[in-house]
Structure 1
Amino acid sequence: MGKPDAEGHGSSDGLPDLPPEWGRIVVPDDASALAGEAAQIRRELRRAAGQHAGQPAFALPLLVLFVAVLTTLAGLLAVTWPRATRGTADRPAPSPYVPPATVTGQALPALDLVDAAQAPVALRGLLPAMIILVDGCPCPERVAQAAAAAPDGVAVITVAGRSVTATPPAGGSVRTLADPAGGLRSFLGQPVRPGALTALLVDRTGVVTQVLPDLGPAETYRDELAALAP
């Protein structure tokens, strides 16, 4: 074992005195006697180094994960939000149906339709008449009602699309024609509507007096139909 100085606070070889609060210090003659203290000091240093090194090692992956989540959310907002806004802004609103009343008062064009034998028939040669377009619906019951309500001298004509498909109702005088060229539908300027019958009332001079966009019961047009009588 080493020897303390005479006062127990230092050595006698001229070295400066140690702080008195350190207490009595004994320097061993053999350095291996300090192996235990050295091992404990190394463990403390490693523990302290591990604590300081672990903080950045844990914080860096957390920071990367946080940035990745923010980037993903920003990308989703950039893709979905503007697209939804554009979809609602660019989508055209459905236009309401406009009855084909603009042809009222106009002259019926000189159209040649065809009968069941594909023979041409001049439409203006059948006036006065109630012309019913059945390309959207055959609707034989409503056609029969129109034929029964028509006065003498007023023809009831059904006009199909490419070919004559409707059969004249029993007991009524209905002329069935077809309009393969679509001239009458073009004159109206309205598309075919499934389930609807469009009718035109045309006097003997060829002027359209009324357009019925959806032919209803005979009571709704009986007076106008009677006014076509010669």
Structure 2
Amino acid sequence: MAGASDNGGWPPDGGSWDELPDLPEEWGVIVIPDDLSELADEVEAVRAELHPTPAAARWQRFTRRPAMRRLRKVGTLMLRAPVLIVSMAIMVTVASLFASAWPGPSRQAATQRTSGSTPAPSRTLPALELVGADGSAVPLRGQLPLVVLLTDGCDCDDLVAETVAAARPEIAVYAVSTATPSTATSRSQLTTAQTPRADGKTVRHLRDPAGTLREQLGLTAQDGTAAAILVSRTGTILRTFEHVMSATTMLSDLQRL
């Protein structure tokens, strides 16, 4: 039958714990505390023995000095300032590029004004049909380039004659009024409208009973003077004169028409 030494010093089943061997004397007095956190120092010492830390090199000891740490901190601050300035400059440059490339509201080109003239409210001559001296419908844009004289309330026979004389043969001249001409005047205008002029120039006396042309062009009411509209061969209104008493007022524009 095996003895107690055959079981590693532990008693056999059913044996008494009082027969356990004592701890070696060289271990000294072993005290097991109630709070295991009191053994933290011993744990750190054991870990240090198991995992020894390699000794720091000379340059590592040099860089760990307080003066070197302060120098590294100052160098970091000095490096951050230029980086921040460069970053802000890049952001401002990119923002200005986007602002210059972004389409803004379109600006209308400024037109040079002459005395007695205003820019035309409508840049294209309306496609109206007026009434000829013989009662037939006459397309307002039937012949271009064109000078339209609105002669309501105006004794404009001389103005019409001066305009015809100043205009080139290919420029038609229309004298437009809202009033219904008398019988004698109607016959005279009918003859003028049907009989070609010797100089090849076109002059027509037309009626606009409702005053639609003056309304669509935004012209002021009649005041004893005529209004003149100069239209290019594409139907674009080049110049509008709201108060005209003599063709000399628009002579330079007639030459460029």
1:105–1:112 CA distance, 2 compared to 1 (3 A): closer
2:218 to 179, 184, 189: 189
1:188–1:104 CA distance, 2 compared to 1 (3 A): closer
| % same residue | 37
The 8 Å contact of residues 129 and 203 in structure 1, kept in 2 or not, is answered as: yes
Query: Is the counterpart of residue 174 in structure 1 residue 191 in structure 2?
Result: no
The 8 Å contact of residues 105 and 209 in structure 1, kept in 2 or not, is answered as: no
The letter for the 2-side match of 1:149 is A
Shift of 1:162: 4.0
Structure having the higher Rg:
2
TM-score, normalisation: structure 2: 0.45
**1:11-66, CA deviations, whole angstroms, 9 ceiling, x for partnerless residues?**
xxxxxxxxxxxxxxxxxxxxxxxxxxxxxxxxxxxxxxxxxxxxxxxxxxxxxxxx
- Say which SS state the counterpart of residue 160 (structure 2) adopts: helix
2:232 to 195, 198, 203: 203
Shift of 1:214: 1.5
CA distance in 2, matches of 1:164, 1:226: 31
Structure 2: 5+ residue runs without aligned partners? 1-115
CA distance in 1, matches of 2:125, 2:181: 21
The 8 Å contact of residues 164 and 177 in structure 1, kept in 2 or not, is answered as: no
Partner of 1:125: 142
Bigger mean CA offset, 202-211 vs 136-145 = 136-145
Partner of 1:48: none
CA distance in 2, matches of 1:207, 1:164: 30
**1:65-122, CA deviations, whole angstroms, 9 ceiling, x for partnerless residues?**
xxxxxxxxxxxxxxxxxxxxxxxxxxxxxxxxxx773426600110000111211000
- How many equivalent pairs are there? 130
1:223–1:191 CA distance, 2 compared to 1 (3 A): closer
The letter for the 2-side match of 1:174 is V
- Say which SS state the counterpart of residue 148 (structure 1) adopts: helix
CA distance in 2, matches of 1:105, 1:224: 18
1:154 to 152, 171, 180: 171
